[in-house]
Structure 1
């Protein structure tokens, strides 16, 4: 684990190579094994590999999310705040475990902060993504993790 931590870095430029389905399934397993307060599992992880949707996610906020458009895979990390008062912590733990699992599989990643960020002058980045991926009203989006083979 310490060796992975030493190698981990934020990578925003990815090769066009798709992430293999076997690796995506391992990432799903890893993120679903993340611990949560009282085992409430308030989160949902939306795996996105559709290029059109990736481009739209890259426009989630004015600065700092454009790299997602060039990633072959992104994971929207969201939660129902009614299920846990520490949903932010639960999502953050899951997100970094996802990034470490990606690295262990030879993939690179970068976190795009979404919570408390603006999409434009009238819409929050959370509302923009909630609508984009069809999350229920009231759900919160913590971040989007772009994943792929580093370039």
Structure 2
């Protein structure tokens, strides 16, 4: 992947807002093929595609910095997805927090050991990034759950009125 695109992605996550600007997140940029293959083994399902990606960004946090580190990491991740899309790249989230590795320990521990994270640093997710081999269409407008939107009070109003 082109270095200028990687730099744009890194800048996007570093510009991510966080609660009280405490910035509890940390990011590990992975391009090494062997490491990508090992990250793809972080959990039994939903991570294998990482091995074929040219890039993965592991979203970590120091939970002692902020009580809403999960939300802050999630904001950074969505900005990463949006920046990737803007660059013509595809991206996919791999949930790590609260998931198990095949050896019985938590996936977070597996990834933390693999990346040599400092004690106490936790892993929220891995975002795999690359050039999409297929384009998935968006959800048709008719399939959107308009009934899940209320105006002013729960259960009141209708979307489009």
SS in 2 for 1:127: helix
SS in 2 for 1:83: coil
Say which of 108, 116, 127 aligns to 2:109: 127
Higher relative contact order (CA 8 A, sep 6+): 1
- Find the counterpart in structure 2 of residue 16 from structure 1: none
- Find the counterpart in structure 1 of residue 138 from structure 2: none
Specify every segment of 5 or more residues in structure 1 that has no aligned partner in the other structure, as ranges: 1-18
* TM-score under structure 2 length normalisation: 0.81
**Aligned CA-pair RMSD:** 0.7
- Find the counterpart in structure 2 of residue 28 from structure 1: 10
Q: Is the deviation greater in 130-139 or in 70-79? A: 130-139
Q: 1:87, CA displacement in angstroms?
A: 0.2
Q: Distance in 1 between matches of 2:38 and 2:15?
A: 28
SS in 2 for 1:62: coil
Q: Within 5 Å, give how 1:65-80 maps onto structure 2.
A: 65-80=47-62
Specify every segment of 5 or more residues in structure 2 that has no aligned partner in the other structure, as ranges: 134-161
Q: 1:121, CA displacement in angstroms?
A: 4.2
Q: 1:123, CA displacement in angstroms?
A: 1.3
Q: 1:117, CA displacement in angstroms?
A: 0.2
Q: Distance in 2 between matches of 1:80 and 1:141?
A: 9
- Find the counterpart in structure 1 of residue 64 from structure 2: 82
Q: Distance in 2 between matches of 1:35 and 1:122?
A: 35
What do residues 110-141 of structure 1 show as CA deviations (whole Å, max 9, x unaligned)? 00000000012421100000011111111111
Q: Give aligned pairs, total.
A: 133
Q: Distance in 2 between matches of 1:147 and 1:61?
A: 18
- Find the counterpart in structure 1 of residue 22 from structure 2: 40
Instruction: List, as ranges, runs of 4+ consecutive aligned residues in structure 1 with deviation greater than 2 Å.
Output: none
